[in-house]
Amino acid sequence: MTIDVADALPSRNATFPTTPHSGRWPWRAMAGALAVEVILLGLTTGWLASSTPTPKAVSADAPVMLSMLVPEPEATPTPAVKPAEPAKLPSPPLKREVVPKPDTSHVRKPAQVPRATATAEAPPIETVSGADAPPAPSAAPPTLPPAPPVATSSGPDERFVAKLRAAVQAAVVYPAALRGMGLAASIDVEFVYMDGRVSNVHVTRRGRVATLDEAAIAAVQRAAMPPAPPSLAGTPHAFKVRVIFDEM
């Protein structure tokens, strides 16, 4: 059923009859038109509802088929198959060759020769007695530092050398510790002289007692040396004098 709403509703340009009470009529007409629209709206809604198919209600008692998904089993890796080892064949036993022992019954054994037991005699060792032994080398005198190069006295300076010897001999003092022993000695002493002063005094020929050697050195250092001649002035010269010790 088709209802034309436009034909049912009054037109806006329609004219309504007027009555003596024309002030109330429009309100009634509007209310009637509104009621007609409501009715038409309800009819349209009902028609639309009837035309829509309703879903069939599922009965609560109908059986429901449920299917469970079974998980597939995991594939396990198959172990690698090792190739079978070939069976070892037993090695054939080795044959040992038996060598026959030679017959030595007919061989004569050589006669044993006695070994010589004589021992070589060692040559006799000669012993050297104390009298035949060579004398032990005497201890070398201590080395003294070399003296500076000096001019040696010779020729016309013999007089000056005699004055030096006399000055040293005059300064000799016999050691008191050796008095009464009767010891005598001649000791050579060498020294460097320059302008009345001496240096580098040392013994070149020692006596029998070290005390006398020390006394000879002290005599040279203590002696009042004569002045140098003009030919020796200002330069060092080496001299050697003999100091004599004689207890009288």
Q: Vertex 243, ends 135 and 139: CA angle to 5°?
A: 20
- Give me the domains of the chain, ranges plus CATH numbers: 158-245 (3.30.1150.10)
Helix axes 210-222, 158-170, angle to 10 degrees: 120
pTM check: above 0.85: no
How far is the C-alpha of 214 from the C-alpha of 47, rounded, in Å? 167
* Structure confidence at residue 150 (pLDDT): 45
Handedness of CA 193, 194, 199, 200 (dihedral sign): negative
Beta strands in the chain (DSSP E): 151-152, 184-194, 197-205, 237-246
Are 225 and 167 spatial neighbours (Cβ–Cβ below 8 Å)?
A: yes
**pLDDT tens track for 64-99:** 555 555 556 666 666 666 666 666 666 656 666 566
37, pLDDT greater than 50: yes
